[in-house]
Structure 1
């Protein structure tokens, strides 16, 4: 499964109401570290299909979702389970580090 783009309007449906854990990536087109982790998140989305859903939120187009989550810097990653945040982290990381963080969180 590829990553899913969420908007301010679809955030609750895609994230809070998901049947499986969700990793939310708050990012922006101009953010270098965001672009670094993008391909890793795409790969993890395919590798962990069915176990976790990866949702990307462009903070420039969707400021409300980011504000709701208190995002101050990007990339900001959150793991939601049963509609609640169970873990979060900021900044880029290698794919292996992202994968182990996700697995520990879900």
Structure 2
């Protein structure tokens, strides 16, 4: 969990995507997240977290539906949503927290 604290403690906004490879809506988000990461450059970070490999973290954060997206800034969760989102919405949200 200490590595997780390092990830979310950044001064730039961090978008977390909790997914599994066997969940179709999760895999549909992969190209969207690539677009978000490309649009933000070094002003934000996009991190994909495989729930199957990080069950303890997913349980601690009460991840139920997939994909679950969260934005953290300075160690605080500032936004959370389950389900698919489009790139423009996510880019706009991330820019709010720059």
Question: With structure 2 as the length reference, what TM-score do the two structures score?
Answer: 0.87
Please state how far the C-alpha of 1:50 moved relative to its aligned partner. Answer: 1.9
Contact kept? 1:18, 1:82, Cα under 8 Å: yes
The equivalent residue for 2:52 is: 60
Question: With structure 1 as the length reference, what TM-score do the two structures score?
Answer: 0.81
Please state how far the C-alpha of 1:29 moved relative to its aligned partner. Answer: 0.4
Tell me, yes or no, if structure 1 residue 10 matches structure 2 residue 10: no
Please state how far the C-alpha of 1:37 moved relative to its aligned partner. Answer: 1.3
**Residue by residue, what CA displacement relative to the aligned partner does 1:7-43 show, whole Å, maximum 9, x if unpaired?**
x56322222x223110110000011111111111112
Secondary structure of the residue aligned to 2:36 is: helix
The equivalent residue for 1:3 is: none
Contact kept? 2:37, 2:44, Cα under 8 Å: yes
More helix by share: 2
Distance in 1 (alpha carbons) for counterparts of 2:59 and 2:37: 25
Equivalenced residue count is 98
Secondary structure of the residue aligned to 2:62 is: coil
